[in-house]
Amino acid sequence: MIAVTVGILFIVQMVTAMVGTSLIEAFLNGDTARSPLTVGVLLMMCSGVAVVGIGLLMYQVLKPVNQRLAFWYTALRIVECAVSAGCGVYLLTQSHVVPNHMLWVYIPTGFGGVILTYLLFVSRLVPRPIAVLGLAGYTLLTLGVPLDLLGMLNMNEGTGLALLAPGGLFEAVFLPIWLIAKGFRSPSPATAFAAPALASTR
């Protein structure tokens, strides 16, 4: 049930973030109506709540693999939600966005995602190709943030968007579908880092 719930939450956080971002972008592009903006910010907050839910549930799954890293993954997901919510409140009260607001959200997303996918890889909780896709995606995201801040690329277009693609496929397609259909394999605390063949179970 944890696997199915996490899979659903990944889809929920992705959909609510996409719709919320589009509504916020419409406001920034000249649509001065407050209602769509408010809905957009609320959807982004719903996405943040889903993110926290994922972090709390995954702590239970990742703790037998590496308790310290599992804690940091959950903590970074909470930080991600807090940063997103803070940017949303600022937008509603000041009617303009925090400079580079998405990049500040991407920082805990990237580092947390690297931790998650590393633990998934070493424990084989999910098939390794899925974990590798996520590890590559979050690594590219993490590297893209300083490059954007330095003006070397734009994460919203061209090469920057390409950097987001692997992580997007991991979060929106491959991981949630696998979790909903197959669930997690059961990690063994003593042998997780030896990458044993683990029985598949929900």
Interval 56-112: pLDDT, tens: 999 999 999 999 999 999 999 999 999 999 999 999 998 888 898 889 999 999 999
Mean pLDDT of 15-21: 94
pLDDT of residue 8: 96
Read off the pLDDT of residues 182-196 as tens digits, 9 standing for 90 and up.
999 876 454 444 443
Residue scoring higher pLDDT (104 or 198) = 104
50-64, 114-128, 185-199: the lowest-pLDDT one:
185-199
To the nearest 10°, report the CA torsion of 168, 171, 174, 179.
180
From residue 85, give the alpha-carbon distance in Å to each of 20, 60, 90, 156.
Answer: 12, 25, 9, 20
Q: With a cut of 70, say whether residue 51 has pLDDT above it.
A: yes
pTM: 0.87
Q: With a cut of 50, say whether residue 140 has pLDDT above it.
A: yes
Q: With a cut of 90, say whether residue 49 has pLDDT above it.
A: yes
Q: How many helices (H) and strands (E) does the chain have?
A: 7, 0
Q: How many CB atoms lie within 10 A of CB 126?
A: 22
- To the nearest 10 degrees (0 to 180), the angle between helices 128-149 and 101-123 is 150
Q: With a cut of 60, say whether residue 169 has pLDDT above it.
A: yes
